[in-house]
Structure 1
Amino acid sequence: MKRTLGVFDAVVVGLGAMVGAGIFAALAPAARAAGGALLAALALAALVAYCNAHSSARLAARYPSSGGTYVYGRERLGPFWGYLAGWGFVVGKTASCAAMALTVGAYAWPGQQHVVAVAAVVALTAASYGGVQKSARIARVIVAVVLAVLAGVVVACLSSGAADAGRLSGSDWAAAGLLQGAGLLFFAFAGYARITTLGEEVRDPERTIPRAVPLALGIALLVYAAVSVAALSVLGADGLGRSAAPLADAVRAAGWPGLTPVVRVGAALAALGSLLALVLGVSRTTLAMARDGHLPRALAAVHPRHQVPHHAELAVGAVVAVLAATTDLRGAIGFSSFGVLAYYAIANASAWTLDSGVKDRAVAAVGLSGCVVLACALPAASTVTGAAVLALGALAYGVRRRLTPGP
């Protein structure tokens, strides 16, 4: 592919994937789980995300090709681990699609959340089928709009008389809730991987990717921390946890009801942008795995006129529509986080095998341990379902290998 992205564009792509909608969706479920330890959960999620980003950036510099950990696991650990990483990415990001669709519904029409979510999936799948492609230019617009909306939320909340610093922490939390909140908030950080999966389209990847990934992650952390403090100061952990549209409720509680429609529109647009990018990304990973024989070969078909993987897009859209119609936002985020944490566990294990110093290996070890701990601390339904889906993928791999022996 053509290498056109520099450091700035790579940072924007990562920010677009992270702040596009994650903070609008993950804050309330995390507050419900972590209680008064929400800010500590955010810090823990950021630590694990940093370790994952560091390992992923090192691997991307060594293997600057599309595919992310699907490639790294295959090259460093063997074909099975690359396949399992790809499988975890596909199932995890499919759930992310459902979470983004439900976020559109929660902010656009709270009373009909599932109906709006399914309609959004159908509309964006149709748009993607027609050849719509994401670009750094679109990402710049989305990031600019979303950052402006979030800045308005922070200023409105912190400048209001309803803000109370005493709401920022509390005694009503436990270690298990802190870990579960961190696991749910990890959902909002996972977008920095978009930079590494674009390895074939980045100029001077050995230099650009290791610079862009921590920059994007650091900016996202500052934004998330500011928004979390602002929302907690007016709603508290309990009010934040009960809210279906937390940032809209925060500006209303701060005495700025006129900003509520702006926040709702900004959140819905951000979620739509993230949903489109996710549908494109998951369908392309599905295409790659189908070409390698890990998924049905029919999913590798490319439309002769539109030049898109139309079978993969229709399959992904159908699965996401079913999830959006039948799951709740917290369940979709939990399941997505489990799949993505499994993906990054393999990334850290792959980074451990690189020739490196004590610091790099320590970061990989902390990242691997953190992924395992946070995955196990997620809501029980998400952990059990996620483990079962990963096991199903591993079983399918074993059956295929027995039926088609050879390299």
Structure 2
Amino acid sequence: MSLSAATAVLSSGGVVTFPSPLFDTELLTIYNPLDLWGFNSSYVVAEYLYLLFAAATLSHAWKNSSTSSSLGLWFGCLLSGSIVELFTILSPEIGNFYHTQASVMLIGKTEPLYMLVGCYGGIQYLAVQLAFTAAGDTDTKAGRKLGVTLISGLAGRYLWSLLDIIGAHFLWWVWHESDKLYLAKASGVSAYTANLLSTTYLLAFLAYCNQVPIASSFWILAETASIGFIYSIVRRRNALLVSVTIAVITPLLLNIPFILLYHPFSNNYGHPEIPLYLLEAAAVIAVLLMVRGGHSVSSHRWLFYLAGSFVAINSAIFIAFQDRAGRNLRYSYGEPFTNSSCHGVTELVFWGTAERDRFLCPAKIGSDKLYTLSCLKGPLMEGRWYWLCGVGVSQEAFVEVCIEVLKTSALIFFLFAASLGGKRKII
């Protein structure tokens, strides 16, 4: 029987075929979400909830642009995030992150719409606005500009971590399996945990409490912090200027923490988690020092309701679909796949500064991965588009998600409680 690349024979004897899109151009592809439901129902639910979340944050931005350019902030988050995301996705020198097909895909089926509007536009907007509930007078106080920068980064990192860890376990995307930026994670467990256990219980505990990819966490923290800093300077300007300034400067500014902290600790000492902990600790100190901000009660309460709903919805998705994780199927693009042995075949990336494996092959897909080939019957299709099977959620993974939910909830609760009362401290 001759099969197309979009068709797979399952080890159970069944045959699955990925659906054709309802609308397909180079810039926009639309699938029927009902056709995708049987492959990964959690992804369909998450996609539309994130689109609703994007609409909710955009509505807040529209209604609260009288005293500062919230609308400019929302579009600035969207534009800056899109620039960084699309550059890393589309550039052959990077290309280390591969989305699963959602019902609305952009630019040659490589980028889901929900990621741009819901995660960059929505999550980062909400993170910065939450930070400003504790920021107070950022227009005249330089210390508060630094404080809101750190709190923005911390809020962005924690909110995003829910997507990061749940999406990884539910096969909403995959990473390049040998890219050095993601080697700090293996099957949801920090590759540094064992080493840290032999040195200090404190660092071991911190490693366990940060069970999402180190590079991804640091990147989101740096990017959202950059947006918060820029917004603290230009938020009284018109929306167009705010959005353009954030979009242009953020992709450049976020590299500074990487150059000064992440790469030195990673390359010289082999501990990329340390700069992440340092920035998180600095942000926690900033939260404790700045206990009350300048938003109206009605405005900031709506923000916290939205933040609480975001955490609750992500938690509900995880609880509702965790039993189905091992039955998820993924047909999408990724690291080139071959059935033959691929060990030792490498390529230079990052403009000749890094080396990684060129192909993914069955021999590399072991118990340390969040995907498998066990549900498929060979011979497997080769190329950039291929099928993968989900992996069941382990008890350890369940604990990891619970820790991320608790950390995010604690930050939201503290900012909310602090914004309601207490003396305002000036730093």
TM-score by length of 2: 0.27
Higher relative contact order (CA 8 A, sep 6+): 1
Q: Which has the larger radius of gyration?
A: 2
| Higher helix proportion | 1
TM-score by length of 1: 0.28
